Amino acid sequence: MNNVLEFMGQDHDRLDKILEEFRCTKNTDVTRAVALFHDFMAVLSRHIVWEEEILFPFFEQKTHMHDTGPVAVMRIEHNHIKNYLEKIQNRILAKEINGIDELVCGLMELLADHNAKEESILYPWIDRETSDKEREDIISRMKNSSME
């Protein structure tokens, strides 16, 4: 695969599926829900690291847009996403898994909006502005970065 949109879009889809399964099981199978949320945090954290350490710096270096532009917005949204993760995680740790629907729905809405912007603006831009070799390097760096 030599296409950032496809590679990252698949990761978004994978994350959406895990979060949806978490939402559906959290009131009926707490053990499974906790395991799902753990997976979700691990996959999303790796995804955000790929973006913040590989894709965004590439964009910033090519465009010279550091504190403005789409990447600046994406970084702010990542902080909002992390706030949601922390709040949900705290509820889970406190065994207050019931009543977190509002947080989960808020996170889902934020991610839907955020991912749509990345898939319509940022990833296609990177695919357009890179040579085949650059894209290959970017994708292999992401594939080779281990999951914490």
Q: Are 135 and 127 in contact (CB under 8 A)?
A: yes
Nearer to Fe ion, 51 or 139 (CB): 51
CB of residue 29 to Fe ion, shortest distance in Å:
28
H/E segment holding residue 81: helix 70-93
Nearer to Fe ion, 33 or 139 (CB): 139
Q: What is the DSSP string of 47-67?
A: HHHHIIIIIHHHHHHHH--SS
CB of residue 19 to Fe ion, shortest distance in Å:
13
**Angle between helix 132-144 and 4-25 (nearest 10):** 30
Distance CA 26, CA 96 (A): 11
Examine residue 118 and tell whether it contacts Fe ion (CB under 5 A).
yes
Examine residue 36 and tell whether it contacts Fe ion (CB under 5 A).
no
Q: How many residues bind Fe ion (CB under 5 A)?
A: 2
Site for Fe ion in 45-64 (CB under 5 A): 51
Q: Give me the residues that bind Fe ion (CB under 5 A), please.
A: 51, 118
